[in-house]
């Protein structure tokens, strides 16, 4: 049995595939996840994970005021815009 529970992962990822699509995509992903198994050959005991290379430093920006986007600009990318807010679908009662 595959460890990849696609319907559970869909829920986590905010996706909802159609049945035929789900079957096709699951087949591909099972093949890919099986391929990942070769990483088990690598002894990683005592190795620190690498996320950023050694050159990357987290720095703090100066505490200065910058102008961001204006409301007029933000509205350009959404037709349905409320009075100074993005409109979304119902949340309560689902």
Instruction: List residues binding other proteins (CB under 8 A).
Output: 3-4, 6, 9-10, 12-18, 21, 24-25, 28-29, 31-33, 35-36, 38-42, 44, 47-53, 55-59, 61, 69, 73-74, 76-78, 86, 88-91, 93-94
What phi and psi, each to the nearest 5 degrees, are found at residue 81?
Answer: -130, 130
| CB neighbour class for 21 (10 Å; exposed up to 12, middle 13-18, buried from 19) | exposed
Q: How far apart are CA 37 and CA 2, in angstroms?
A: 13
Shortest Cβ distance from residue 9 to other proteins (Å)? 5
Nearer to other proteins, 47 or 65 (CB): 47
């Amino acid at each position: 049995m595959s460890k990849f529970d696609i319907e559970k992962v869909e829920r986590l990822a905010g996706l909802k595939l159609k049945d035929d699509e789900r079957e096709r995509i699951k087949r591909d992903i099972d093949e890919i996840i099986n391929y990942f198994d070769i990483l088990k050959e690598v002894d990683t005991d005592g190795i620190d994970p690498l996320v950023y290379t050694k050159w990357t430093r987290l720095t703090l920006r100066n505490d200065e005021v910058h102008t961001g986007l204006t409301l007029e600009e933000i509205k350009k990318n959404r037709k349905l815009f409320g009075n100074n807010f993005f409109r979304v679908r119902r949340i309560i009662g689902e």
